[in-house]
Amino acid sequence: MTETEDQILRLKGKRASGGLVVGPAHLLGDIIVRDQAPAGTSDDEVAKLRSAIAAASEALETLAATSGDMGGEILGFQIALLEDDALIEPAIIEIEAGTSAVKGWRDALDEQIADYAASDDDYFRARAEDLTDLRDRVLAILTGADFGDGSMPDGAVVVGRELTPSRFLTVDWHRAGGLALAGGSPSSHVAMLARARGLAMAVGLGDGISALHAGEPVVLDADAGQVVSGLGRDALEQMHRDVAARARQAEEAKRLLPLPATTPSGQRVITTVNVDDPGVLSEIPVAHCDGIGLTRTEFLFHDRANLPGEDEQAAVYRRLLDWADGRPVTIRTLDAGGDKPIPGLTLDGEGNPFLGLRGLRLSLARTDVFEVQLRALARASAHGNLKIMFPMVTAPWELDRARELTEAALAAVAKDGAPVGKPAIGMMVEVPAAAIEIDRFDADFFSIGSNDLIQYVTASSRDSAEVSNLYDPLNPAVLRLITRIADHGLKTGREVNVCGDMAAEAATLTALLDCGVRSVSMGYAALAQAKATIADYVTEP
């Protein structure tokens, strides 16, 4: 031990996508361009701008081709903007009047960015980001600055304040080790993109991040949501060994992906994936899982001006069922509220939103919105093995009411002449009142939302660093409840699944197996490790 504790900088934030990485810090700065006098005639400057725009278009086309559904759409919009003379004309006029290509372009784009940023519509405001990315991408080409990863060392921990999705897509993440952001949120688009790639990412690390130097070795422990720098040589070498051991383990675990998950004693464990955004499905081989255990339909409601309609929802649900190819697909109805507000739907200014109008409570209060979702689910139900699940069920009558509404939607769609299936109706178990009296709930299946269950049982907020030592998945009260629910499922022939973070970590997954749980659902990135944990599981004596 040669270092002293005060050389060590520890930045605490939140996990956005798990992983442990050691690598040189690569600072992703803002593109700052000083005004410059025009280098040539105005014709030269116009030509310079046009060729920079062409180069930017070409780079975007290449990125779009390899970015999957979600990424391709973001980039497709930017490409269309760049191809539009209306975007470029104001810059050309200014340049012809004697300014440089750099200043002309920046002024023209800044004006448009300000226009979008001032919009009273969330969706249009968000487009300011796309224009900012375009501005900076072209400026970087004009000035030779580094927009993406030009100078990034291999295995780098990319460090920045915030990152827009399109800027995220410019980085070659196969070369990078991970991403650490001062701001950001685990529910952002960028976090989703990182999880889909299995890229380690921590957010909310705070202003302390500016103390990191380019090239200095840092440890990104995304599982714990933290970044550590200033470690001595011995400690760093140990970290490198840990990371290498983990990588070997992960590589080995991948061999299990195409196989059904089975314990050494031959017990089959159902392993399904969680879906935040259907865009990730293109990257998941369906044969690696037993279907979809949780679809968070909130993604349909985010970043938009209006609520999604029946046609749009039905098409998305249909797409999930088509992808699953006969395997079960569990779709959870809207779980808004709590930490997931939706403008125009959830209540503003609730004193304690986690105990307020959220999940099924909100759906039953807003049956106009709920019925649209149920009709869309009914329309999709004929096209595969659909299971419908309600979040935050507290009292049996809520489940009964939701079942009635679902049956009414199925009957109405059938009456319109469309084919319907017979979807199973289940509930999330996350409220202690439901967990304790589980036999009073007439659901076809149960799914334990461990994140919320832990927070409600331990009365410890899941996003508070101060009480994180009490927010304990292995608290005996939590495990006892899970055991009771698993027993009830076994006795009554109902499936009991766990779809929270407990299923995604080796230690807590082992505890779930001890509780008798034989069905788990998680993000695809955690699936290989989970199958390895199950394959090594030895039953408690």
Partner 1 sequence: MSVQPTEQEAIERSVLLTHEVGLHARPSVKLTKLAKRYTAVIAIKPDGREDWTDAKSIVKVMALKAKQGVTLHFKAEGSDAESALDAMVGLVERNFDDDGD
- Residues lying near partner 1 in the complex (CB under 8 A) are found at 73, 76-77, 80-81, 83-87, 112, 115, 119, 121, 123-124, 127, 130, 304-309, 311-312, 314-315, 318-319, 322
**Minimum distance of partner 1 from residue 76's CB (angstroms):** 6
Q: How many CB atoms lie within 10 A of CB 417?
A: 6
In terms of CB distance, is 336 or 517 closer to partner 1? 336
Q: Please name the helix (run of DSSP H) or strand (run of DSSP E) that holds residue 20, with its range, or none.
A: strand 20-27
User: Checking phi first, is residue 275 left (phi over 0); if not, alpha (psi -120 to 50) or beta?
Assistant: beta
CB-based burial label for 309 (10 Å; 0-12, 13-18, 19+): exposed
In terms of CB distance, is 164 or 521 closer to partner 1? 164
The answer to whether residues 527 and 289 touch, using CB atoms and an 8 Å cutoff, is: yes
In terms of CB distance, is 127 or 387 closer to partner 1? 127
**Minimum distance of partner 1 from residue 171's CB (angstroms):** 22
CA-closest candidate to residue 449, choices 513, 399, 505, 393: 393
**Minimum distance of partner 1 from residue 347's CB (angstroms):** 22
Amino acid at 415: K
Q: How far apart are CA 42 and CA 534, in angstroms?
A: 68
DSSP state of 347: P
Q: Is 213 a catalytic residue?
A: no
In terms of CB distance, is 149 or 310 closer to partner 1? 310
**Minimum distance of partner 1 from residue 123's CB (angstroms):** 6
**Minimum distance of partner 1 from residue 127's CB (angstroms):** 6
**Minimum distance of partner 1 from residue 288's CB (angstroms):** 22
What are the residues facing 496 on neighbouring strands? 446
**Minimum distance of partner 1 from residue 6's CB (angstroms):** 49
Determine phi and psi for 344, rounding to 5 degrees.
Answer: 85, 0
**Minimum distance of partner 1 from residue 413's CB (angstroms):** 16
CA-closest candidate to residue 482, choices 490, 415, 316, 299: 490
Size of the chain in residues: 541
In terms of CB distance, is 73 or 442 closer to partner 1? 73
DSSP state of 268: B
Q: Are strands 292-296 and 9-12 parallel, antiparallel or unpaired?
A: unpaired
In terms of CB distance, is 87 or 479 closer to partner 1? 87
User: If DSSP codes are grouped into helix, strand and coil, which group holds residue 460?
Assistant: coil
What Å distances lie between residue 162 and 179, 181, 220, CA to CA? 10, 6, 17
Q: How far apart are CA 317 and CA 297, in angstroms?
A: 9
Q: How far apart are CA 41 and CA 280, in angstroms?
A: 49
Q: How far apart are CA 118 and CA 168, in angstroms?
A: 24
**Minimum distance of partner 1 from residue 83's CB (angstroms):** 8
Where helices occur in 255-366 by DSSP H, the ranges are 310-324, 360-365
User: Checking phi first, is residue 413 left (phi over 0); if not, alpha (psi -120 to 50) or beta?
Assistant: alpha
Q: How far apart are CA 179 and CA 160, in angstroms?
A: 8
Amino acid at 462: R
**Minimum distance of partner 1 from residue 67's CB (angstroms):** 15
In terms of CB distance, is 30 or 416 closer to partner 1? 416
Q: How far apart are CA 409 and CA 418, in angstroms?
A: 12
* Residue located via tokens 């025009």: 38
Amino acid at 148: G
Choosing from 26, 289, 383, 499, the catalytic residue is 499
The answer to whether residues 331 and 297 touch, using CB atoms and an 8 Å cutoff, is: yes
DSSP state of 337: B
CA-closest candidate to residue 523, choices 270, 175, 274: 274
In terms of CB distance, is 87 or 224 closer to partner 1? 87
Q: How far apart are CA 250 and CA 417, in angstroms?
A: 50
In terms of CB distance, is 372 or 496 closer to partner 1? 372
Choosing from 26, 189, 383, 515, the catalytic residue is 189
In terms of CB distance, is 145 or 342 closer to partner 1? 342
Distance of CA 179 to the CA centre of its chain: 14
Amino acid at 247: A
Distance of CA 507 to the CA centre of its chain: 23
List residues with catalytic annotation.
189, 499
